Structure 1
Amino acid sequence: MLTPSELWTWQYCPSKDRLLLNLDNDTQFVTELTGAVLNEKVSSKAFSIAEAETFWRLHDVLQTVVLDENERFDCCLHALANRFRQLTAHKSWYFVTQRMQDIGAYQLVHLQGKDNLLAVVVASDLECIECLLLASGESLAGKTLTRRTIIRVLRNRAQLVEQDINLAQSA
């Protein structure tokens, strides 16, 4: 598996209309983020130490639920790309109201629509959390949500997945 490096760079590619992460001279990770949803179209932004630390935190959390190493790597990079995405309105009506819990970044949650969707929290603020879906499923509104979609919901729409994660790595 590739490991985070200060040589990695974020870049928006107009011809592909995607945000890319250049991993080396021959390899690019292509995100699902188009120019229309980016808060900035970066020409070249180095991968930071903070991003490497976040990568390993996400990797450790996902290790218990995403068994395939390549899939875990993919999910981590999609979650990291979220910082370049414009803030969107929450889609809380897609999911059942749950009891309010203190939910923070890098925690696993369930979102209950017509399907019970497993997700990892990639960002949080006072009212909402942003979750990377780890599986596809259907919302209460009948909308099909695909794996790796990032969705913003009110905090009371998520239920924590109880587990003990104690695998921290340093970048």
Structure 2
Amino acid sequence: MLKPSDTWNWYYDNKAQSLMLDLGMDMVFRVNLPYKVLIDSAFDECKFSVDDASAYQMFVEHISYLPLSEPRKVELALNCVAAKRFHKPMLPKSWFFEPQGVGYSPEEGEIVSLKNDLGEGHFIIVENYECASMCMLVDMDSFALNPIKYMAFCEPIKVMHDRMAKMQVVNSAYYALVG
């Protein structure tokens, strides 16, 4: 697994129209966030901070059991860090999902289940707020929000907590709904 370094740098690449993370040794990671959702500081070059490294480690630990390849886990963890640090505040879009209960408050890094008429998807909590959380799709297959709108791997969305169900590890290759 890729280990964080104090030599990593965030920068915005105007040519690629994307936020990037320079990992050194001629390796660059392209963040999966469009221009329009980035806060102003995303356009200034800055170091991969201690907070970024701490968040990266936390996300890596929480996704270790997911049935993803190591490169996909790194991609997911780095996209989570970027969204946590550089994503503009967003309003919840809970109407895409069915209510699953009340009183549930997920923790950052936790994997949750969201359901609708078209299926069930698994999401990682990127940022937790009082009543809603920004989460990111962890499934490699796209998730249908409605018949014409789909989410892709690593795409973020903010959802009210009453739409979420807690996930628990069953074994090292799978995860299942509990509760």
The normalised TM-score by structure 2 is 0.85
Aligned to 2:86: 84
Does the alignment pair 1:157 with 2:163?
A: yes
C-alpha displacement at 1:43, in angstroms? 2.5
Aligned to 1:167: none
Q: Structure 1: which 4+ aligned runs deviate by more than 3 Å? A: none
What CA distance in whole angstroms lies between the structure 2 residues aligned with 1:60 and 1:103? 16
Q: Secondary structure of 2:89's partner?
A: coil
Per-residue CA shift, 1:82-116, capped at 9, x if unaligned? 02011122110110011121212111100102111
Q: Which has the higher strand share?
A: 2
Does the alignment pair 1:147 with 2:153?
A: yes
Equivalent AA in structure 2 for residue 148 of structure 1: C
- Give the length in aligned residue pairs: 164
C-alpha displacement at 1:25, in angstroms? 4.6
Q: 2:134 aligns with which of 123, 127, 130?
A: 130
What CA distance in whole angstroms lies between the structure 2 residues aligned with 1:92 and 1:140? 12
Does the alignment pair 1:108 with 2:111?
A: yes
Match runs of 1:42-81 below 5 Å: 42-81=43-82
C-alpha displacement at 1:81, in angstroms? 0.7
Q: Is the 8 A contact 1:66 1:72 kept in 2?
A: no
What CA distance in whole angstroms lies between the structure 2 residues aligned with 1:60 and 1:85? 22
What CA distance in whole angstroms lies between the structure 2 residues aligned with 1:78 and 1:137? 18
Q: Is there any run of 5+ residues in structure 2 with no aligned partner, and where?
A: 171-179
Q: Is the 8 A contact 1:105 1:124 kept in 2?
A: yes
Per-residue CA shift, 1:123-162, capped at 9, x if unaligned? 0111211111012211256521111110101111111102
Q: Percent identity?
A: 24
Aligned to 1:117: 121
**CA distance 1:140–1:98, shift in 2 (3 Å):** farther
What CA distance in whole angstroms lies between the structure 2 residues aligned with 1:103 and 1:142? 29
Does the alignment pair 1:99 with 2:105?
A: no
Equivalent AA in structure 1 for residue 78 of structure 2: L
Of 137-146 and 153-162, deviating more is 137-146
**CA distance 1:112–1:142, shift in 2 (3 Å):** farther
